[in-house]
Chain A
């Protein structure tokens, strides 16, 4: 296998950033579809929306699985976006590392909380 680390690290050529670019679009598509599904479900409720109707949207197993996938997609999507922001505006390595660690902790914590809320429903 060709050596690809240290001073021999290949830093030019195809694929650098393609994975982030593509995953951000795929996850965005998932979230857009999810948004459309939720809007259709809300609009299909006749009369006043109460707790039963609202929570009922997320109660079925397929909707739980879909919401779970969307939470995972959102987490990765936001990670790519926030990393872009830190890389653009924060040059000192120590600050950048600190902010990236904060982003990961923040996102994983939020994802865990959201999944917990979803699955005790």
Chain B
């Protein structure tokens, strides 16, 4: 081992017994890592909001009266309506991100060319751009901006 190697090693931060609050905020995640952890967070979020999704599905297809009730709640400017819209917005983002990141995974499964540092970064950037961009477009529709 050369002198230079030893120096390079000494200068690197070392992590032992990682503390979620002290150490995790100082991590510099690469874009691919960001997409990965958001894939997990979006999945867990949708798992927790499953009853909310089925509740909306129930109201929307059961009868004209329940359909009107659901659209009425979403149309109202009250706190309840606003909260529902925020939850729906979170779901829209979670679904889009999970879908895009999942397609990226499938692509990497079937193509050896896709498994490289460069592709990992560029495809992660596309995933984030598409999911956030579409969330903004659909979110604007949800909040009646157009």
Task: Say whether A51 contacts B106, CB under 8 Å.
Answer: no
Q: Which residue of A lies closest to B51 (CB)?
A: A110
- CB-CB contacts below 8 Å: A87-103 with B: 103
Q: How far is the CA of A120 from the CA of B57 in the complex (A)?
A: 13
A-B contacts, CB under 8 A, total? 57
Q: Check B109 against A114 for contact (C-beta < 8 Å).
A: no
Cβ B54 vs Cβ A54 within 8 A: no
Contact A55 B54 (CB under 8 A): no
| Contact of B62 with A by CB under 8 A | yes
Q: Is the interface of B mostly helix, strand, loop or mixed?
A: helix
Q: CB distance A81 to B99 under 8 Å?
A: no
Most buried by A among B51, B54, B64, B99: B54
Task: List chain A residues, Cβ under 8 A from B40.
Answer: 81, 85
CA distance A100 to B144 in the complex (A): 40
Known: A82-B44, A82-B47. A32 touches B61 (CB 8 A): no
Is B23 an interface residue, CB under 8 A from the partner?
no
Chain A, Cβ-Cβ closest to B110: A25
**A25 to B108 CA separation, bound complex (whole angstroms):** 12
A and B contact pairs by CB, cutoff 8 A, 29 listed: A28-B102, A29-B106, A32-B99, A32-B102, A32-B103, A50-B67, A51-B63, A51-B68, A54-B60, A54-B67, A55-B60, A58-B61, A78-B43, A78-B47, A82-B43, A82-B47, A85-B40, A107-B47, A107-B50, A110-B50, A110-B51, A113-B51, A113-B54, A113-B58, A114-B54, A114-B57, A117-B57, A117-B62, A121-B61
